[in-house]
Amino acid sequence: MSELLLGIDIGTSSCKVAVFDKDGHAVSSATKEYPVQYPHTGWAEQNPDDWWNGVAAAIRTLLEKSGVSADRIAGIGVDGQSWSAVALDGEGKVLCPTPIWMDTRANEICQEMTSRLGADRIFSVAGNPLQPMYTTPKVLWYERVLPEVYGRIDKILQCNSFLVYRLTGAVTQDISQGYGWHCFDMRRGCWDLEMARELGIPEHFLPEIVSCDKVVGHVTAEAAAKTGLLEGTPVVAGGLDACCGTLGVGVSEPGETQEQGGQAGGMSICMDQYHADPRLILGYHVVPDRWLLQGGTTGGGGAMRWFEKEFGDGERLMKEQLGISSLDQMNQAAAAVPAGSEGLVFLPYLSGERTPIWDPEAKGVFYGIDFTKKKGHFIRALMEGVAYALRHNLEVAKSAGADVEVLKAMGGSANSLLWTQIKADITGKKIEVPSSDTATTWGACMLAGVGVGLFPSYREVIDRTIATRRVHEPKRADAEAYEKGYRTYRALYENLKDLMHDAQTD
């Protein structure tokens, strides 16, 4: 009997595949890395076929090392990063690298389009501002800069729908990824073809919108040969990685909130009605009849990954001698530094910034450096800067009428007890941590389980499979240091933003 589920997570730096039983226990997993290319300032792009080749290799590795027979997999769910613009021709060939969620190359196009159509007109349909990170301006950039590509486009797909296409041949657009398009009606969950015409988006670029748990196809013979999966295995449409992670930590009811600890930072607040704010991001949840009001920042766990890569040579050299990973060594160094990092403050705007400042030209900053500062100060300041960005988004959400009390943490950053406690202390919010490493792939599996009938409802599977492993209550002992640091954090951007913008025009 087929009783296992396969989740596929297409992240920014790597893909992760995992097999779960119906009780939510991970049976086996595998990962494969792939590159991000930064060919020019503001550009960040990937080759979608790198995702597919990485997923195929990871699935083969998983099946081989686990001994799991492919015929035991009842269904497959795929989640992926946001705001891709995968250009396919009529034969399904990828026409060019896709700009990804942190790419800001289309900033000028956004300004021109907003001026022509009006910010209010665009926002009235999409519930989101026109910013260069979204899908819409990237497609318009193809038209302006790559007309030879634009003329051959048959469909534009999102990250997860591209993987679903490679697995099944089905061309779809799941509803949770609709928020990348500004011709997507956020109130009704369908295309607004009049807005598409106003934006200059051809109707044939837009795939059919489907629910995230709909079985849209089955593994083809070609995909089975490449991956080791069983031909005919059902595949659901899947959804946005942040939404699947939100489901994977048990967030499905209004007011429940996920704290994002992956490559990006931020939060997702579950709502049962349309509630848009131009400072934040609004999208459909993967759970039916729910929206997510999101804060999305470019500097989350990826900021720490960048720091470790560029400045962690010593820790990597000591890894074998100490038996401690480089990230754990950095965590120990940060723990030895007082709250507030003795005046060192970090702006985590490493690829511009999304919410709530929406500034593609914002830059990362370490402020307060002097001869007393050691590496541990920089590491702790980085952690605190990401937490300040989270607080900023939560404060904006509260001003928009969405106040929350408890955050459910997910992603690799949630494995750091220190970083999670810093976030609790800086935001003043209680943070609960379920299974942080597997939340996103398990969320994708939940979609597949509901889609193939293995689970009767989301509520039933959440109650049965998701439990809190630890809780971080905010401590007020360090409140004064963090209040001072947060004031500096907010003032730094306000005082430096003109300089940041001027630097882009030199």
CB-CB contact of 17 with 8 (8 Å): yes
Burial of 365 (0-12, 13-18, 19+ CB in 10 A): middle
Confidence of residue 506 (pLDDT cuts 50, 70, 90): very low
Q: Can you give the pLDDT at residue 149?
A: 97
Residue 164 scores a pLDDT above 80: yes
Summarised one tens digit per residue, pLDDT across range 283-294 is 999 999 999 999
Beta pairing, strands 430-433 & 406-410? parallel
Which is nearest to 330 in space by CA: 298, 376, 377?
376
Q: Is residue 385 predicted with pLDDT exceeding 60?
A: yes
Locate all alpha helices (DSSP H) within 290-437, ordered by sequence: 301-311, 313-322, 326-335, 375-399, 417-427
Gyration radius (Cα) of the chain, Å: 22
Residue 503 pLDDT more than 80?
no
3-state secondary structure of 13: coil
- Residue 229, both tokens: 């999966």
Q: Which of 163, 195, 200 is nearest to 182 (CA)?
A: 195
**Distance between CA atoms of residues 455 and 202, nearest Å:** 38
pLDDT at 166 over 80: yes
| Integer Cα distance of 125 and 128 in angstroms | 8
Determine the residue type at 235. V
**What is the pLDDT averaged over residues 213-228?**
98
The answer on pLDDT for 12 being more than 50 is: yes
Question: Contact 251/408 with Cβ under 8 angstroms?
Answer: yes
Over residues 245-255, the mean pLDDT reads 97
What domains sit in the chain, N to C, each tagged with a CATH number? 4-248 (3.30.420.40), 301-399+478-504 (3.30.420.40)
pLDDT at position 2 is: 77
Instruction: Encode 136-154 in three state secondary structure.
Output: HHHHHHHHHHCHHHHCCCC
Percent of the chain residues topping a pLDDT of 90: 96
Over residues 317-373, the pLDDT tens digits come to 999 999 999 999 999 999 999 999 999 999 999 999 999 999 999 999 999 999 999
What pLDDT is recorded for position 333? 98
pTM of the model: 0.95
pLDDT of residue 368: 98
DSSP strand pairing (345-347 vs 365-367): antiparallel
Report CA-CA distances (Å) from 192 to 90, 119, 483, 490: 23, 16, 45, 38
Distance between first and last Cα of the chain: 64
Collapsed DSSP state (helix, strand, coil) of residue 225: helix
CA dihedral angle for residue 367, residue 371, residue 372, residue 378, rounded to 10 degrees: 40
Residue among 422, 421, 387, 427 nearest 404 (CA): 427
Per-residue model confidence (pLDDT) at position 262: 87
Q: How confident is the model at residue 437 (pLDDT cuts 50, 70, 90)?
A: confident
Helix (H) or strand (E) holding 122: helix 119-126
Burial 163-190 (b: 16+ CB within 10 A, else e): bbbbbbebbbbbbbbbbbbbbbbbeebe
What does the pLDDT average to over 403-417? 94
Indicate whether 16 pLDDT > 80: yes
The Cα 263–Cα 246 span in angstroms is 15
Picking from 192, 189, 178, the residue whose alpha carbon sits closest to that of residue 134 is 178
Per the omega criterion (within 30 degrees of 0), is the bond before 356 cis? yes
Mean pLDDT of 409-430: 96
Note whether 472 and 264 are within 8 A (CB): no
Which run of H or of E encompasses 451? helix 439-451
Cα–Cα separations (whole angstroms), residue 352 to 103, 127, 266, 355: 9, 21, 15, 10
pLDDT at 217: 98
Contact at 8 Å (CB) between 215 and 236? yes
What's the average model confidence in pLDDT over 488-498? 98
pLDDT digits (tens, 9 = 90+) for 309-319: 999 999 999 99
Mean pLDDT, the chain, as a whole number?
96
> What pLDDT band is residue 435 in, cutting at 50, 70 and 90?
confident
